[in-house]
Chain A
Amino acid sequence: MVYVSSEPGSPVPDLQVTAVKMLVAGGFGVGKTTLVGSVSEIPPLRTEELLTELSRDVDSLAGVEAKTTTTVALDFGRITISPQLVLYLFGTPGQDRFWFMWNELSAGALGAVVLADTRRLDTCFPAVDFFERRGIPFVIGVNCFDGSQQYDIDEVREALDVEGVPVVLCDARLRESCKQVLIALTEHVIKLAVRRQQSSASS
């Protein structure tokens, strides 16, 4: 994202800072946090959001409403590419009941990595559906767990029914491998953006 000062006239330090956000999605235990940690310059940070509507505690003392609610945690990492450019990587919460978070997470996201484990490919279907329906660019990272059968990239693409989506084999524990996945995603985003520009120029 390119940041625009909220108040053009105010004395704002660091005038042009640009940041982008990528998401890392996929089923529980597929390696999302591992991937974020492998490329982040800091150990993954944890933020949380409130899960439920506020409840009014009628028993609270002194007439003060005691707001109680549950939270959902999100892991994220940061890569400072230059003083003017920061990349944030957010792991999406795995469980279905946290879907409400995905809208806020995906707002302004450049794209997403959907991690897939070939032993249980179906766990990434919801993420694939989500990004497809919202037109958010994504790539599939096939996280190669030890002892899992080696799949052909085309077999995975076919099983997921994702024509035209890059599929990359990876090991979420290895920085070099994760870098390749993130590069594949960014190249895919560029390709789609260029294609959009061309089609709007010709129409």
Chain B
Amino acid sequence: MSRGETWFDEAAGPLVRPYAVTRGRTRGGQADLQMITLVIALQRLTSALSAQLDPEHAQIMSFCQHPKSVAEISAEVHLPLSVVKILIGDLIERRLVTFRSAVTPDLQVLQAVINGIRQL
């Protein structure tokens, strides 16, 4: 966890206070966000906008100027997936970011995946 809020309990593993940054909320908005749902900012993060946002929200806005998965956002801001989903939900509600849900890839996409891996 960030913010130095990690304690260690030998029996139970690390204890964390993940919901501090969501002001105690453990549920977000309606958006169905999955690990590889892509999130994209709808605005540039100006200093005026930044001043209106919590630091974590601003960090996500800045990171999502290009499409980023929920998992990448979680890694970037050092917060668990379920916490980050709540924060992204806030930004969706304020129309500062949008997201794209996943649907099953077709054969053309699968073939492109093979070609892409070959070229690595």
Contact = CB atoms under 8 A, between A and B. Distances in A.
Contacts of B74: 47-48
A20 B14 CA distance: 31
Given A14-B67, A18-B109, A108-B36, A71 B16 contact: yes
A12 B98 contact: yes
A3 B24 contact: no
Interface string B62-103: 000011010110110000111100000000100100111111
B76 to A, nearest CB: 8
B82 A18 contact: no
Nearest to A45: B75
B42 interface: yes
A11 interface: yes
Size class of the A contact interface (CB-based, 8 Å):
35 or more
A6 to B, nearest CB: 5
B111 interface: yes
A105 to B, nearest CB: 7
Interface string A103-120: 011011010000000000
B31 A6 contact: yes
Given A17-B100, A187-B114, A45 B13 contact: no
Contacts of B1: 71
Given A1-B102, A67-B26, A17 B75 contact: no
A164 interface: no
A112 B55 CA distance: 37
A78 B67 CA distance: 13
Contacts of A69: 15-16, 18
Contacts of A175: 120
Contacts of B100: 3-6, 17
Of B19, B37, B113, the most chain A CB neighbours within 10 A belong to: B113
A190 B16 contact: no
Contact of B15 (A21, A49, A70): A70
A21 B15 CA distance: 30
A47 B81 contact: yes
Given A69-B15, A69-B16, A81-B116, 12 more contacts: A1-B103, A10-B42, A10-B98, A47-B74, A54-B26, A69-B18, A70-B13, A71-B16, A79-B116, A81-B113, A110-B110, A193-B110
Interface of B: 1, 12-20, 24, 26, 31, 34-38, 40, 42, 66-67, 69, 71-72, 74-75, 80-83, 92, 95, 98-107, 109-118, 120
